[in-house]
A and B are shown apart, each in its own frame.
Chain A
Amino acid sequence: MSILFSGRVSSGASDHKLGLGRRFVMFWVNHVRQALFSLGELWRTPSASILTIGVLGVSLTLPATLHLLVKNVQQVSDSFTQAAEISLFIREGTNATQISSLQKILQADSDIARVTHISKQQALAEFGAVSGFGAALNYLTENPLPDVLLVLPKNTSADSARQLLERLSKERIVEFGKLDIDWLTRLDAIVSLLRQAVLVIAVLLLGAVLLIIGNTIRLSIMNKKDEIEVMKLVGATDAFIQRPFLYSGIWYGVFGGLLAFLIVEAMLWWLQGAIASVTSLYDSEFNLMSLSMGEFFSLMLLAVLLGLSGSYLSVRRHISAIEPTGP
């Protein structure tokens, strides 16, 4: 494109009689070439690049680790579904048919996952076995324990369990219902607190990452001030000058993201043994969950976006500010 000389054939690719397909291919070839060139630039300044990538990697590691922590705690709280089990104590003098019909009705209820009936006799036998009053209980003339229906709600969150409890307590043959809700509420509150803390810390760290990348790119723009001036003097547009810096930002993101991923994996591997010994003491089946494929890609995407936007912010400000001062 020539503004001053309308007849002048100057531009290379655009003025040649290239087919649309070929031009499309060349567009991508050029971008790949520039991306590789930027990669080479990072390679040529290893100390600065490694520092930036290190900072980016460590900054992304923290939110990723916290995310894993929340995810694993949630897994633990999910395994305590019994905590939301509702015990319905049946009125004295209710006969077996009534109980079993109530059990059938509850089993058909869409909010309820499972209903188990513990009869008076079973309860007494269990109590005798567990409490150690076995012999003493034989002296009772009648069984003082009521029939119990154990109801496992489908939705184990504290709120919905409480609602279900209220509804079930109104059943005619139910004396009263009981739900150990307090510690479930506490666990819920802790998990949601954790999740919010993760969010806040993540936002702060990501902000820091943005500034760090912006600053690194700013320094490399300043280092190339002379080169940029010359390029502007021979007719380079800002967009053309910006491109290698934007690619550097993307590469910082890619390597920073990979580094964060490796650190998280190494940490999990390190902790696996310790956690296994703790969980074996608690007799629980707990598997430490690592990053899933989707989470890995989100991490990488986030890192690349951060790198790109950090360099974009810097490039926007600083490249247009550099003007050649004279021939």
Chain B
Amino acid sequence: MLEFDQVSKSYPGGFVALDRVSFKLEKGEMAFLTGHSGAGKSTLLKLISLIERPSVGKVLINDVDLSRIRRAHIPYVRRDIGIIFQNHRLLMNHTVFDNVALPLVIEGFSGKDMVKRVHAALDKVGLLDKVRCLPHTLSGGEQQRVGIARAVVNKPPLLLADEPTGNLDPDLSKDIMQVFEAFNQVGVSVLVATHDLGLVARMKYRTLTLRQGKMINDGLLQYEEAPL
């Protein structure tokens, strides 16, 4: 599904964000990406969503080399990837419905079909009753779930999340993770970047750990933090 082959990324000025990173995420697999801030987590996600291009190496999704994607085709690639942002990045002056419907509108859906899908996505994250609300009337956890609904509304085969629980308390974080697990169980590949090591350890999924741009661990995290 997702493959990094000896990928390096250095920025002008010589800063090396990723150093020969290789890994493979299978179809229907769920994994965590951890590391301190500045370790390269964000850079790795940017390479997948084509916000940045690697300096060296290849990123492949479903065996398609992303370096072959021309600029004009980037939007079509992004439609196949659901992205969840740390600060959820909702359009604050549009309703929850409009926010979730955005990817569908972009793809040309309209009418009943669109409404059905938006409601299905909101139902999965448990926010069907907030359809007509504006995002700022919702709590942080609810806003994040709206962001998730928007990412999954067009049923992408690959889901990326960047610090989805960054601003949430542990209980809400667990809820959010359970939402991801539910999507994973219906066959979606999920990659979650987080520095919440306690949560990662409890969840018992494959964990990729970055330190200063290098992949230092690929597998289950060995230790478990004491519960808070």
Footprint of B on A, CB under 8 Å? 1-5, 8, 10-14, 16, 26, 30, 226-227, 229-238, 240, 323-327
Footprint of A on B, CB under 8 Å? 42, 45-46, 49, 51, 61-62, 64, 69, 72-73, 75-80, 83-86, 89-91, 102-104, 106-110, 113-114, 150-151, 154-155, 157, 160, 162
| In the complex, residue of chain A having the shortest beta-carbon distance to the beta carbon of B78 | A235
Interface of B is mostly: mixed
| In the complex, residue of chain A having the shortest beta-carbon distance to the beta carbon of B113 | A12
Task: Write out the residue numbers on chain B whose beta carbons fall within 8 Å of the beta carbon of A227.
Answer: 91
Contact among B77, B89, B151 with A4 in the assembled complex (CB-CB below 8 Å): B77
**In the A-B complex, the 9 residue pairs with the closest CB atoms:** A12-B109, A235-B79, A235-B78, A13-B108, A327-B162, A12-B108, A237-B75, A234-B103, A236-B106
Given contacts A227-B91, A231-B102, A234-B103, contact A327 B42 (CB under 8 A): yes
Given contacts A2-B80, A4-B64, A5-B157, contact A13 B110 (CB under 8 A): yes
A–B complex contacts, Cβ < 8 Å, 20 sampled: A1-B76, A2-B79, A2-B80, A4-B64, A4-B80, A8-B157, A10-B107, A10-B155, A12-B107, A13-B110, A14-B108, A227-B91, A229-B89, A230-B91, A232-B75, A233-B83, A235-B107, A238-B75, A240-B106, A325-B51
Task: Write out the residue numbers on chain B whose beta carbons fall within 8 Å of the beta carbon of A326.
Answer: 42, 45-46, 51, 162
Contact among B62, B64, B78, B110 with A26 in the assembled complex (CB-CB below 8 Å): B110
Task: Check A3–B110 contact: CB distance below 8 A.
Answer: no
Task: Check A12–B89 contact: CB distance below 8 A.
Answer: no
Give bound CA distance, A231 to B151, whole Å: 12
Contact among B75, B89, B108 with A226 in the assembled complex (CB-CB below 8 Å): B89
Task: Write out the residue numbers on chain B whose beta carbons fall within 8 Å of the beta carbon of A324.
Answer: 51
Task: Write out the residue numbers on chain B whose beta carbons fall within 8 Å of the beta carbon of A235.
Answer: 75-79, 103, 106-107
Given contacts A3-B76, A5-B62, A326-B42, contact A231 B110 (CB under 8 A): no
Task: Check B80–A327 contact: CB distance below 8 A.
Answer: no
Give bound CA distance, A155 to B54, whole Å: 76
Task: Check B110–A327 contact: CB distance below 8 A.
Answer: no
| In the complex, residue of chain B having the shortest beta-carbon distance to the beta carbon of A224 | B91
| In the complex, residue of chain B having the shortest beta-carbon distance to the beta carbon of A324 | B51
- Of B84, B89, B109, the most chain A CB neighbours within 10 A belong to B89
Contact among A3, A232, A238 with B64 in the assembled complex (CB-CB below 8 Å): A3
Give bound CA distance, A327 to B45, whole Å: 7
Task: Write out the residue numbers on chain A whose beta carbons fall within 8 Å of the beta carbon of B78.
Answer: 232-235
Give bound CA distance, A12 to B106, whole Å: 9
Give bound CA distance, A182 to B104, whole Å: 74
- Of A4, A230, A233, A237, the most chain B CB neighbours within 10 A belong to A4
Give bound CA distance, A244 to B148, whole Å: 26
Task: Write out the residue numbers on chain A whose beta carbons fall within 8 Å of the beta carbon of B46.
Answer: 326-327
Given contacts A3-B69, A325-B51, contact A231 B85 (CB under 8 A): no
Give bound CA distance, A238 to B78, whole Å: 13
Q: How far is the CB of B169 from chain A (nearest CB, A)?
A: 22
Task: Write out the residue numbers on chain A whose beta carbons fall within 8 Å of the beta carbon of B62.
Answer: 4-5
Contact among B80, B89, B104, B109 with A3 in the assembled complex (CB-CB below 8 Å): B80
Q: How far is the CB of A39 from chain B (nearest CB, A)?
A: 17
| In the complex, residue of chain A having the shortest beta-carbon distance to the beta carbon of B80 | A4
Give bound CA distance, A237 to B103, whole Å: 11
Task: Check A327–B69 contact: CB distance below 8 A.
Answer: no
Given contacts A326-B46, A327-B46, contact A8 B109 (CB under 8 A): no
